[in-house]
Structure 1
Amino acid sequence: MRSVLLLFFVLVSLQAHAHLGSISGTVHDQATNLPLRGVTVQLTGLGKATLTNELGQFRFDGLVPSPYKLELSYVGFKSLLVDVVVREDQTTFLKTVLTSAPVELREVVVSSQRAHDQQLISSLDIRLRPITNSQEILRLVPGLFIGQHAGGGKAEQIFLRGFDLDHGTDIRLTVDGMPVNMVSHAHGQGYADLHFVIPELVEGADFKKGPYHTDKGNFSTAGWVDFRTKTALDHSFAKLEVGQYNTYRAVAGLDLLGSKGRAKNQSAYLASEYSYSDSYFDNPQHFKRVNVVGKYHGHLTPNTNLTLTGSTFWSKWNHSGQIPDRAVESGLIGFFGSIDPSEGGETSRTNLNAQLVTVTPRNHIIKNQFFYSNYNFELYSNFTFFKEDSVNGDQIRQKEHRNLFGYNGSYSTQTNIGKTRWTTTLGAQYRQDITNHTELSHTKNRVETLNRIKFGNINEINAAAYADELIQLSDQFTLNAGVRVDYFRSQYEDLLVVPPTTKRATQAIVSPKLNLYYTINPRFQLYLNTGKGFHSNDARVVTAQDGPLRRTGQILPGAYGSDLGVLVKPFPKLLINAAAWYLWMEQEFVYVGDEGVVEPSGRSRRQGIDVSVRYQLTRNLYADIDLNTAKPRAIDAEVSQNYLPLAPTFTSTGGLSLQTAYGLNGSIRYRYMGDRPANEDNSIVASGYFVTDLQANYTKHRYNIGLSVQNLLNTRWKETQFATESRLQGESAPVDEIHFTPGTPFFARLSLTYFW
């Protein structure tokens, strides 16, 4: 009897299930006809929601036959409400398009779907604060500060979460997934030059702070940023810009396929940029930069798309370098003067990037990416003037020729077991850097080579594999767990010895991650991020048989971090993201490319609080503020000697942004960095600064008129500062004090953009 009853209930349940229906569909951008990834799709009143995948697809299964309402929302687009009827044993298909609209914070949803990948802050910022120059690209990340100290052509110095990251030692930067950081660079480990990116082509910036993502490996200790360039242009454009200090810039983007291409789900464009500026220094920079970019996007099959990007970049400049306080105070030079006016550099980079994404009928996602870069770099600097050579001076040349190629691949599946959704991702990555004649030399007047300090060839491989599990246990609770394995093989051929010698070193490291998210409702989410990362080191140091890395076994010292945070919307038009964070590092060996030596700083600890607030004051006016505190300390040093030089302890940025329906838009913004120690005992202090910028635009269908003002209040400030021991010509002994690069004075630029 029990068997009969059990069979009866099974048959009834199967019959009931057989009469259920489904909804599937796609979401596209009306302007470009390209699929939109990450659109929130909700079944109104049922509490069911999902996000569109890489091809803009979504699906709901197991629905009782009935009328439903679907609500689609995406930052920067008008929300859409769609009526749909589900019938027995059928899948109802919808093809929807979203149109651009002013940002409404009330429509921003704190979602439990893909909680680990939520990018609410960055999505809002890119819509409200369009990028107008290359410096603003990096400033999109809350709490990230930059400083330029060698002319407009050199990569900026980066500061984040209690780190002086130099030019990229512990922050991973990518563009469309292609690496920007250069391993074992002539100027220093992780050197990241983003100037090959045309600002007008940046569509978004995904970022996270901390080593919590399995697909992000080398350099991601403090965090990572992936800049996404536009897949298609809404329209062709040409832009002319003119500013103070003989500043000129021309940018153009040409939509190659137009509406005919969009009808076939294809797009292609070609863009170029030319910049020139003498800048505000007494010694004119004669800065020149050329960029050319081409991009194609199309569907090989209905479920497979291909994106091809090619670009080339060249830049050349003079610069005034860092100057000592005493030279300005004594009247030897002015605030914008120079000690060695022959400093400067030249660099170029050519990139090829191919991305292939396939979504199978069972919603499995396969990603393949291949990239290649040819890179050249030459820089002349003088940091100590006449300390080492009282006759010829201490100018150095850093130079390299590099070929970089690699692969990123992943395979993701999604499985539903009851109300639990499992997303499994397996990935593999490979990167190889081959440099020829990487050089550090003592030079004179940018012409004569006096002595080669380092000269050799580098061949470095980084191979990695990772497994990641994202489990949505309920509508409220999400768990992400993963593990990553990185393998490094470093090789250095020293060409200064006869015969040349080649040394190698290998090491692997395992990095586990665990992240928890509890979404109480669409307005409140708690999260705990934990994970292990690592600090990588220059191949020239790693391979040294008697070097400090070999002696301690710390070729890849570990970094352990955690964030405890909250994402909350207490009111419909107010969004707050706050986190208390902690990061512990086993070792911080730093290769000083300017001297060819290693500076070990031992174990370190950093902790702090990050707060980001976004508030819509009126229909057209938005406010934002970021507050970031940090307490960076060396663990093994005495209390009075445990400061980490130049590490920021308090920073803040914020401003007001205006967007109106009749074409007037703009922003006024500030950035503040507090005083910070410049050396280990805090006896030398790097002075803080407060700088205000203004941007105003008047946009119509065919044109845009823009005004950009840096340092609106004409504040005199020091952009980068270092405690350096140097000797000026005629001095009897070196002096250890602040050396700085002056920050931009009042700098206004006008632009005119024409669309067609």
Structure 2
Amino acid sequence: MIRRRLGEISALALATALWSGTAFGQEALPEIEVGANAPASASAATPRPADGLAQKPDVTINAASEKVWTGQQVNAVPFSRPGEALEVVPGLIITQHSGEGKANQYMLRGFQLDHGTDLSLTLDGMPINMRTHGHGQGYADANFLIPELLSSIVARKGPYYADKGDFSSAGAVDMQYVDKVDPGLIAATGGSFAYGRLLSIKSFEVNGGNLLAAIESGVYSGPWTRPDEVRKINSVLRWSRGTQDDGVSITAMAYANRWFSTDQIPERAVYGGAIPLWGNIDPTDGGNASRFSLSGRWSQTEGAHSSRIEAYAIRSTLNLYNNFSYFLAQPDISDQFRQFDRRTVLGFNAQHSVKYEFAGFPIETRVGLQSRYDNIRVGLQDAYRRQPYDTISNDQVAEGSVGLWTDTTVSWTPWLRTVAGVRLDYYGASVGNIQDPLSAPKDSATGLPIWTGPWNSGSKTAALSSPKAGIILGPFEKTEFFLNFGEGFHSTDARGTVTTLSPADGSQVATIPLLVKSRGAEIGARTKIIDGLDSSVSFWWLDFDSENQFEGDTGNTTFGRPSRRYGVEITNHYSPTPWLHLEGDVALTHARFRGVDQLQALTWVGLLQPGSFQYGTYVGNAAGNFVPEAPSIVASGSIEVGEKTGWFGALRYRYFGTRPLTEDGAFKSPATGSLNLRVGYRFDNGWAIQADAFNVTNSRSDQITYAYGSLLKTDALYGLCQAGTAPANVCAIGVMDRHFKPMEPAAVRVTVSGPLPF
């Protein structure tokens, strides 16, 4: 069956996007500043290496880990999902544990970032991370991204930047779309497992400016026993005039997606023969999502002064149906639950910079104001085959924030400059729980409703300051040295700040703070002393006052222990000739909790008691200091060959090592490595054909792995719990096991693309 479906070609199928095979030339980086101003006419489709380099924004590198890429560089290697385009960031892993419409899982600097917590993603100044979200804090769904439209990506890691606030402690990735694509692009792709994609991009001259229009549609089933049946449509419309530094633009985006999902599955079910490797437990899992936005940008540069204002309005919706524990809580009808999120987001970013001299020293001072308001309807329901039957929580949330920041760069000598800044943030949130007592879940013992709404409403405010500082030495022989320090934060789910009773069982819980502080430092170097080789190394450290996470299946927020991470990152880019480019990156991380998890220790002691010990549920439930799912090693390498026309190709390998899955380290994930390949041909007339092959070694490792307790009807414990002979604390946990999403088997996609000259 797998072989048959491997050869399926969607009706949309034809072949690959011209951009994605574009080889890029290596720009000789200035000794301090990187890149040039991005012109409004920068093209994501024209296959000239020089075009990609012209799109680099004017960015002054202030940390060894800070990196800049053009759209062509991003698209030069094969990736299977839009979010995976961000894996150009060294040490960043993008993966998936559910369907193709759900936000990706992100891993960076010893964080399993869930769906975006502590990794800030923005596109054209608009935030992608969603706070107080139905599925997880900082939920960042990048499935609406059109990689061919990318003009640039700027990645910065650590809390050292005054203009970066919420969710940016581990890192921040700022994406920018192009303003114009000339002569346009049409591309059609088809491939294994009923994959199909159509894309059209075209620019027009309208009212003294450029009107950019793009539309994309896609379908995908995947290798799963229950096909994903993804149906996706996406569009962008932008009018712009001038340049990024001195111009204006207005952009509208629309995106909709629906899908089924094969979520992570228990290892015992696969190796016990209950389900195949590509099988599922609940075939009705899945969801639908939409996102509509309107944004504007105004910028002006005049002499030593420059200003930029970005404003946006976003409307998004999400329905998710998941079942991760199977028959643990609801042994008769299964544990599926529905999470819903409806929100309107309004916000703006404004900044002004001025360059001047004081006492003979060149100085640049920037000041900025950022504000955001989210109006959210969010909730959690128990469901059976996508039919909700009770409401655990139903909240109307209003959350707003204002951030004021400034930094000043002083060039003391040609080889020494400093950056010092501070950020002031104020957050306020109001939570109104509108749970209906008649639809509340019922207590299994008494039959009474677990109605917690009136005790889980209220408001919360918080404010904090975050100082930042950096020292840059060099260049010395084309080498610079960096020292950075900063404080940052992330916001927590507003519901957790007012919740006093657990929505799941009515037990008393403690409220949590709205903002959590982080502190970090980094020392590193960046060099181009070898001609054609751009290398950097950075040693970093990051502390969090608390590791907290919204638990979407219970409606609770866990306010965890403090944590500490430190590590080293090494990156290399080598271009010995204009037609050959090599990348090699490795990141090593040590991540641990600080302190003792007393509640977990008590749980473990209870599982060691007579009557409970024999079931083995204690394995994986001991208190420990491992941060679950934190990657200790991430590495990647790529080779790209090709020029303006003719044959081209690329090879990319990415690897992330074994990870502890529980605090005590009793369960560990396997290491995962995957190899992608591209080969294609570009014609003189702008048309191209290419083939992308994914997981060419047909690895059977995991996309992602978890360890927790679940219960299947085929488990011996299921019958014991139903009969009431197993202890309650054992039945509450179930069978501890690894739960994994397998890597998709080897697959091929072919794309034909060309210009739209009309």
TMscore range, shorter length: 0.7 to 0.9
Provide Cα deviations, 1:665-710, integer angstroms capped at 9, x if missing partner.
Answer: 2210101111110000110001111110012231223301111111
Provide Cα deviations, 1:80-104, integer angstroms capped at 9, x if missing partner.
Answer: xxxxxxxxxxxxxxxxxxx853999
Distance 1:50 1:282 in 2: 49
State whether structure 2 residue 674 is matched by structure 1 residue 691. yes
Distance 1:125 1:248 in 2: 22
Q: How many corresponding residue pairs?
A: 666
Match of 1:492 in 2: 431
Distance 2:55 2:479 in 1: 12
State whether structure 2 residue 597 is matched by structure 1 residue 613. no
Query: Counterpart amino acid of 1:583?
Result: L
Query: Counterpart amino acid of 2:468?
Result: K
Of 112, 136, 143, the residue aligned with 1:195 is: 143
Distance 1:41 1:426, change over 3 A: same
Distance 1:663 1:53, change over 3 A: closer
Match of 2:272 in 1: 330
Distance 1:320 1:527, change over 3 A: same
Give aligned-pair identity as a percent: 28
Match of 2:298 in 1: 356
Distance 1:544 1:416, change over 3 A: same
Contact 2:526–2:536, Cα closer than 8 Å, also in 1: yes
3-state DSSP of counterpart to 2:518: strand
Match of 1:283 in 2: 226
Distance 1:241 1:713 in 2: 22
Match of 2:560 in 1: 601
3-state DSSP of counterpart to 1:457: strand
Distance 1:430 1:698, change over 3 A: same
Of 209, 213, 222, the residue aligned with 1:270 is: 213
Match of 1:23 in 2: none
State whether structure 2 residue 608 is matched by structure 1 residue 669. no
Distance 1:720 1:637 in 2: 27
State whether structure 2 residue 694 is matched by structure 1 residue 710. yes
Provide Cα deviations, 1:406-451, integer angstroms capped at 9, x if missing partner.
Answer: 0100111110246521111111110011012x111110011x2222
Distance 1:325 1:384, change over 3 A: same
State whether structure 2 residue 114 is matched by structure 1 residue 130. no
1:596: how far off? 1.0
1:565-576 superposed matches below 5 A: 565-576=524-535
State whether structure 2 residue 592 is matched by structure 1 residue 649. no
Distance 2:586 2:65 in 1: 18
Distance 1:103 1:230, change over 3 A: closer
Distance 1:546 1:379 in 2: 24
Distance 1:242 1:390 in 2: 42
Of 593, 611, 615, the residue aligned with 1:634 is: 593
Distance 2:115 2:479 in 1: 36
Distance 1:144 1:390 in 2: 39
1:200-239 superposed matches below 5 A: 200-239=148-187
Contact 1:55–1:359, Cα closer than 8 Å, also in 2: no
Contact 1:232–1:269, Cα closer than 8 Å, also in 2: yes
Contact 2:52–2:71, Cα closer than 8 Å, also in 1: no
Instruction: Supply the RMSD in Å over aligned alpha carbons.
Output: 3.2
Distance 1:287 1:515, change over 3 A: same
Contact 1:720–1:740, Cα closer than 8 Å, also in 2: yes
Query: Counterpart amino acid of 1:442?
Result: D
3-state DSSP of counterpart to 2:515: coil
**Once structures 1 and 2 are overlaid, which stretch shifts more, 665-674 or 494-503?**
494-503
Query: Counterpart amino acid of 1:527?
Result: F
Kindly name which structure, 1 or 2, has the bigger radius of gyration based on alpha carbons: 1
Provide Cα deviations, 1:581-617, integer angstroms capped at 9, x if missing partner.
Answer: 0001111121112221222321110000000011123
State TM-score, norm by structure 1. 0.83
Distance 1:690 1:100 in 2: 30
1:296: how far off? 1.3
Contact 1:348–1:375, Cα closer than 8 Å, also in 2: yes
Distance 1:463 1:332 in 2: 53
Distance 1:644 1:503, change over 3 A: same
1:50: how far off? 10
Match of 1:741 in 2: 741
Query: Counterpart amino acid of 1:338?
Result: N
Distance 1:290 1:52, change over 3 A: closer
State whether structure 2 residue 372 is matched by structure 1 residue 388. no
1:54: how far off? 7.7
Distance 1:465 1:533 in 2: 13
Identify, as 1 or 2, the structure richer in strand: 1
Distance 1:455 1:552 in 2: 18
**Once structures 1 and 2 are overlaid, which stretch shifts more, 309-318 or 613-622?**
613-622
1:17-32 superposed matches below 5 A: none
Provide Cα deviations, 1:548-570, integer angstroms capped at 9, x if missing partner.
Answer: 99968743221100110000113
Distance 1:364 1:512 in 2: 24
Higher relative contact order (CA 8 A, sep 6+): 2
Distance 1:157 1:549, change over 3 A: farther
Distance 1:585 1:119 in 2: 20
Distance 1:169 1:141, change over 3 A: same
State TM-score, norm by structure 2. 0.83
3-state DSSP of counterpart to 1:333: coil
Of 397, 400, 403, the residue aligned with 1:464 is: 403
Contact 2:248–2:298, Cα closer than 8 Å, also in 1: yes
Provide Cα deviations, 1:239-283, integer angstroms capped at 9, x if missing partner.
Answer: 1100011111100001122xx98xx5x322100000001111111
**Structure 2 runs not aligned, ≥5 long:** 1-26, 438-452, 598-621, 719-733
